A and B are shown apart, each in its own frame.
Chain A
Amino acid sequence: MPDEFIKNELEEHRPSTPPHFQTTRRDDLMYLQPRKNTVLVSHGRPPWYAEDGQRTSDAFVIGVAGGSASGKTHVARQIVHKLGSIPTVIILSQDSFYKYHNEEELALAHANLLDFDHPDAIDMPMFAACLADLKACKQSNIPVYSFAEHQRLEEKRYLYGATIIIAEGIMALHDSALRSLYDLKVFVQCDSDLMLARRIKRDVKERARNVEGILDQYLRYVKPSYDNFVRPSSSHADIIVPGSNNEVAIELICTHIRQQLQERSNCMRQRMAIPHRYLRSKSGTSSPESRLEDLNLAVLPKTPQLEGIFTILRSKETSRQDFIFFVDRLSTILVENALQHLPYVPKTVVTPVGVESHGMKIDADLICGVTIMRSGGALERGFKRVINDVPLGSLLIQSDSKTGEPMLLQVMLPAYVRLRHLAKNAWVFLLDAQIGTGAAAFMAIRILLDHGVRENHIVFVTFIVARGGGISVLRRAFPEVKVLCGAVDDRVREGWLEGYRGEGNPEGQGRQVWIMQPGMGQIGDRYYI
């Protein structure tokens, strides 16, 4: 699986060399660009936080330095490859952090007279800041550098959610601020002759350049830079890897990473699912089953119509057509109710009769919705009936087919959340069909907080909450999140799912599952399939 994936990422998306290239060595970077700054996902990201809602560990950061054409990218790829079933990996390239050029520098760059191999060419503080954010599991919006224009572009590239980050570049070990962020420092050692030979071969073959030009540039910039900055930085490395025939070194690195990740992993779903049985209070006693009034939930008023709707939705006899209709109706009521949790301020308008009316308006500009796929999608139609002009994002969180732990597979968040300076003022409605074990809800809230959304600006909207389930853990971890539900169910029952053949589980081994009682069944299946 990872093999295939990497192949897709790295081979098929490789663009053909543009016909108009007239620049010098920058082209090899342009050609490498699509391989870098990508988030590689193989089987999702397991929880990176504990039951108290706090992050348990940073991302594991590897710095890979080495001369130009020494094989850094190859080493990074080999690490990803050898790790096998990898969690989420980001390869962050130094190339993104070339400084913004003024007119004068731009002219020099186009004349191939700007030294891109000097450490000063790189915006080290920004590189370190972005890496620090990613290491702390926050989002980062990294600059995009165009080698065709020799300029940093206006756009930014959003990155989030890696368990492993590989930062690579010739100067990756040069800067002390960067070095302090690495958990593992790797230097790719390669013979100068070999690097030059590779360089000539590559540039002649792939770029139709002449040997003289290549040598000129090599002697003017590349070689002095290597001798003065790159090679000396190897003294900071934890491990020096040969640029070729390096299988043993890569294996050593991977063993180390696996061990580190093992120590950091945290399986919590089972303990969360039935907290009064598995989670101990601080004094060591088993915590009592939570009472409804302690959970601080906003529950819809129990009207006859609401009761009737729930009866239809809970019945196994209900047709799919009816199920969809009443789910849409219920979610409309829920979202109308959820809007009460926004702030309001007075507003005066003039009516067509010519009279002033003193009313209210919503006092929040950045409102958005995020659905937890798949079953949260059942609330989307209701959401759109009530709020028609706000962005709606999604998170794909699925249970791992072997452990049952939640796995983050995809993050598609609205711009209000992606950009940190907006996220702190954003109001987010999180939509999911139910909170049973609470594992997906927990992960989704953690993701929003990682992005800088305020805890009391999150309104979680859901059909049912299981009183005896993970909700009490969720409440303790995130007391300020507002949780609005249509009904409260009693408990979560442990069950065993037999022979479910899913991705990563070709043998169809059974696994533990948790079922809401009385519940509505598999809401996602009943709504979509």
Chain B
Amino acid sequence: MSIPLPPPQPANQSNFNRHHLNPLPPSVFTLPQTAQLEALYTIIRDKETKRGDFLFYSDRIIRLLVEEGLNHLPVVKRTVETPTGATYDGVGFEGKICGVSILRAGEAMEAGLREVCRSVRIGKILIQRDEETALPKLFYSKFPQDIATRYVLLLDPMLATGGSAMKAVEVLIEHGVPEERIIFVNLIASPEGLTTFCTRYPSLKVVTGWIDQGLNDKAYIIPGLGDFGERR
């Protein structure tokens, strides 16, 4: 009688995440690799894309990422009565959350986070390369006081070598946040960075939108999208 709906178009074979990193570490979750998502990435990767479009389309991806990230939080059973007098067995959200953005590109993801989690607390962290040691060094951090009791959504759009993300996790753990209560939310990851990161923090969940080919000799993600903070 009725024709089943065709599945949504998938992304190009050669672009699939597993094409660049197989198998995925068990703690890594990616957005569904649909043609639609790939089209969003195509817009923000294009160097001809204007700032307004870059903002709009990267915000859309960020919202999808945050929605996916929140799905890794626990829920509890909750029964409610509907206005029509019926009862409904649903779930309620459990646990407090906060966002932590890695400056400066991570800040760009805050608006998207607040659209999904109204008035969520947001901490900040600044990590830069130490000129002497060439290692990532903490320059500044400011967190909600009770961060140790919260789930943390750690925001950084680009995961290249993974150096600053790992430093940020280190700082969070020092503040009493257990590794398994951190969810790292990320737009584009390099296979190298992802492998290093997940090997060091295996129980920390990573939600990423796309896994790219790799890094070039300047440690830029390829094909990537350039400097995220710069383009916003």
Residues of A within 8 A of B (CB): 294-298, 303-305, 307-308, 310-311, 314-317, 325, 329, 332-333, 336, 339-344, 346-347, 349-353, 355-362, 385-386, 388, 475-476, 479-480, 482, 493, 515-522, 526
Contacts and interface: CB of A to CB of B under 8 A. Distances in A.
B5 A304 contact: no
User: Nearest 8 pairs between A and B by C-beta?
Assistant: A352-B226, A311-B90, A521-B83, A359-B42, A340-B8, A518-B86, A315-B80, A344-B35
B217 to A, nearest CB: 11
Contacts of A314: 80, 82, 88, 90
Given A305-B71, A308-B91, A351 B223 contact: yes
Contacts of B220: 353
Contacts of A316: 80-83
Contact of B2 (A358, A479, A516): A479
Nearest to B4: A296
B188 to A, nearest CB: 10
27 contacts: A298-B5, A304-B73, A304-B74, A305-B71, A308-B90, A308-B92, A310-B90, A311-B88, A314-B90, A316-B80, A340-B34, A340-B36, A342-B36, A343-B9, A347-B42, A349-B48, A353-B222, A353-B223, A357-B46, A358-B12, A360-B11, A360-B12, A362-B39, A386-B60, A476-B2, A518-B84, A520-B82
Contact of B82 (A332, A360, A521): A521
Contacts of A493: 84
B42 A357 contact: yes
Contacts of B8: 340-341
Nearest to A343: B9
A356 B45 CA distance: 9
Given A304-B75, A315-B80, 5 more contacts: A294-B1, A314-B90, A325-B118, A336-B60, A344-B35
B145 interface: no
B167 interface: no
B67 A305 contact: yes
A344 B40 CA distance: 11
A369 to B, nearest CB: 16
Residue of A294, A305, A342, A516 most packed against chain B (CB within 10 A): A305
B183 to A, nearest CB: 13
Contacts of A386: 60
Contact of B224 (A333, A346, A351): A351
A286 B65 CA distance: 47
A305 B118 CA distance: 14
A267 B225 CA distance: 57
A521 B67 CA distance: 25
B204 interface: no
A493 B86 CA distance: 11
A482 B5 CA distance: 7
Given A310-B90, A388-B56, A515 B84 contact: yes
Residue of A307, A317, A360, A520 with highest tally of chain B CB at under 10 A: A360
A352 B227 contact: yes
A296 B80 contact: no
A311 B90 CA distance: 5
B224 to A, nearest CB: 5
Contacts of B90: 307-308, 310-311, 314
Nearest to B224: A353
Q: Classify the secondary structure of A's interface with B.
A: mixed
Contacts, number: 172
B226 A351 contact: yes
Contacts of A315: 80-82, 88
Given A305-B71, A308-B91, A311-B92, A359 B86 contact: no
Contacts of A476: 1-2
A342 B37 CA distance: 12
Contacts of A526: 83
B142 interface: no
Contacts of B46: 349-351, 357
Contacts of B82: 314-316, 518-521
Given A351-B225, A351-B226, A359 B12 contact: yes
B22 interface: no
B96 interface: no
B71 A303 contact: yes
B91 A332 contact: no
B220 to A, nearest CB: 5
B73 A340 contact: no
B3 interface: yes
Contacts of A385: 60, 63, 115
B223 A356 contact: yes
B27 interface: no
Between A311, A343, A359, A515, the greatest number of chain B beta carbons within 10 A of the residue's beta carbon is seen for A359
Nearest to B218: A353
Nearest to A349: B46
B41 interface: yes
Nearest to B80: A315
A349 B84 contact: no
Interface string B122-161: 0000000000000000000000000000000000000000
A171 to B, nearest CB: 49
Given A333-B67, A360-B38, A388-B56, A350 B88 contact: no
A176 to B, nearest CB: 44
B2 A295 contact: yes
Contacts of A358: 12, 14-15
A340 B9 contact: yes
B12 A518 contact: no
